[in-house]
Amino acid sequence: MKVLVVGGGGRCHAIADALRRSPKVEKIYVAPGNAGTAEVAENVPLKDTDVQGLLAFAQKKDIDLTVVGPEAALQAGIVDEFRSHGLRIFGPTAAAARIETSKEFAKELMMRYDIPTAAYRPFDDYREALDYVASRPLPAVLKYDGLAAGKGVVIARSMEEAEAALRDMLLDDKFGHGRVIVEDYLEGPEFSFMCFVSGSDVWPMPLAQDHKRAYDGDRGPNTGGMGAYSPVPFISEDERRFALDNIMKKTAAAMVLEGLPFTGVLYGGLMKTRDGIKVIEFNARFGDPETEVVLPRLKSDIVEIFSAVADGWELEHPLEWHDFSTVGVVLASKGYPGSYAKGAVIEGLDEVDGAVYHMGTASKEGRIVTAGGRVAIVGCAAPTLGEALEKCNREVGKVRCGNLYHRTDIGRKAIK
Ligand code: AMP
Ligand code: GLY
């Protein structure tokens, strides 16, 4: 089979790597890819949202299966467009992807089907939103309703903070013209539950946990994710089962009832609160960096899964997973998530005993250079999380670059 992966980050490198392990795959293309995907696939210089360009490419090259990484491509309608031309594609339609791209859609769905999540109200009026915040206990959680590159959520601990955030979102249209969801603040550890979903069929992946803050000890600004690990020992099997039945399967069934059957990866961003497990958000795609620590644990052939979901079939065999634990540490450009320089030479990537997935790299005169905020993720596997963490910290030290930083405590919280 010839497979096209749409996207350019570490998630797509990990997907390409999983595809490479399948005997069914003859050729992999990644659009646009990065310097790492160029080592396992052929990069195609097309933007992930260039739906017409990608469609023309897939038709010209007789691509048998396309796999979509980023939400922007889903929102641009890539799945609808490919399907209407009879091409096989793994991912949800733009309408089903609203479970991620519209917070209000996701919240309404959860309320209607009794899926556990924080109480909320939607607003488009600044004054009304502010009055509602004043009527509830602080902190308040304010979410811009749309894609805001992870920057659309503010936890306001005072009325002044709430005022400033609502002003940005509703009066100054900082992220565009949209609505705001105001929801109750929940407390507890978060984890990610990704499932392959084909209508009401749900095949769970092992749990993972992302680390959103930039620095050790969960300090510093929010980022796209500075590392992840899998499995998640603080979630018991009973709790996982609850989340699978009462959140993931229930949501997949709800989408079918709504006439928007979901196909692809449904990602539950979940929180273990005092009152049980609740949904913080849904994503309509593989998580990044969770994918980089979860897919290496997959024993089954990923092409069979992608194909079954794309074709709307049942899976022939249950999914099989390796028992080992994985830890992935992200190397980010100094300054990220603020402004940062690009073009610093990276050495030692090939000395790492583990998986190295490129996130934002380019090749220049035969050398790998930094080309993004998150640059690469080093992943290690071991029988226990503690060993994987130790190994990962050792291996990450082999990467030499003057302009990178990383966290040293990825997964530490999970180790007793
Ligand atoms: P979201 O984009 O909805 O995932 O929100 C980004 C981050 O904000 C989450 O990963 C949480 O850490 C935090 N967050 C979102 N909603 C809540 C909530 N209701 N209570 C507490 N924290 C939240
Ligand atoms: N790791 C969070 C996300 O993929 O949105």
By C-alpha distance, which of 221, 222, 225, 223 is closest to 211?
A: 225
pLDDT tens-digit map of 195-204: 999 999 999 9
Tell which one of 110, 193, 280 to mutate to probe ligand 1, the residue whose CB is within 8 A of the most ligand atoms. 280
pLDDT(147) > 80: no
pLDDT(176) > 90: no
Q: What angle do CA 177, 269, 174 make, to 5 degrees?
A: 20
Atom of ligand 2 nearest to the CA of 281: 5
pLDDT(217) > 90: yes
What pLDDT band is residue 142 in, cutting at 50, 70 and 90? very high
Tell how far the Cα of 61 is from the centroid of ligand 2, in angstroms.
31
Name which of 2-16, 161-175, 394-408 the model is least confident about. 161-175
**Which three-class secondary structure state does DSSP give residue 318?**
coil
Residue given tokens 């946990």 in the structure block: 209
Rounded Cα gap, residues 319 and 174, in angstroms: 43
What pLDDT band is residue 191 in, cutting at 50, 70 and 90? very high
Tell how far the Cα of 365 is from the centroid of ligand 2, in angstroms.
33
DSSP at 77: T
pLDDT(392) > 70: yes
pLDDT tens-digit map of 338-367: 999 999 999 999 999 999 999 999 999 999
Tell how far the Cα of 401 is from the centroid of ligand 2, in angstroms.
26
Residue of the CA atom closest to atom 3 of ligand 2? 287
Tell how far the Cα of 280 is from the centroid of ligand 1, in angstroms.
6
CB of 281 closer than 6 angstroms to any ligand 2 atom: no
Contacts (Cβ under 8 Å, ≥6 apart) of 246: 115, 116
pLDDT tens-digit map of 93-102: 999 999 999 8
Tell which one of 141, 211, 283 to mutate to probe ligand 1, the residue whose CB is within 8 A of the most ligand atoms. 141
Atom of ligand 1 nearest to the CA of 117: 19
Tell how far the Cα of 232 is from the centroid of ligand 1, in angstroms.
19
Asked whether 323 and 259 are in contact (CB, 8 A), the reply is no
Question: Residue 49, Cβ neighbours under 10 Å: how many?
Answer: 16
Report the share of the chain in percent with pLDDT over 90: 92
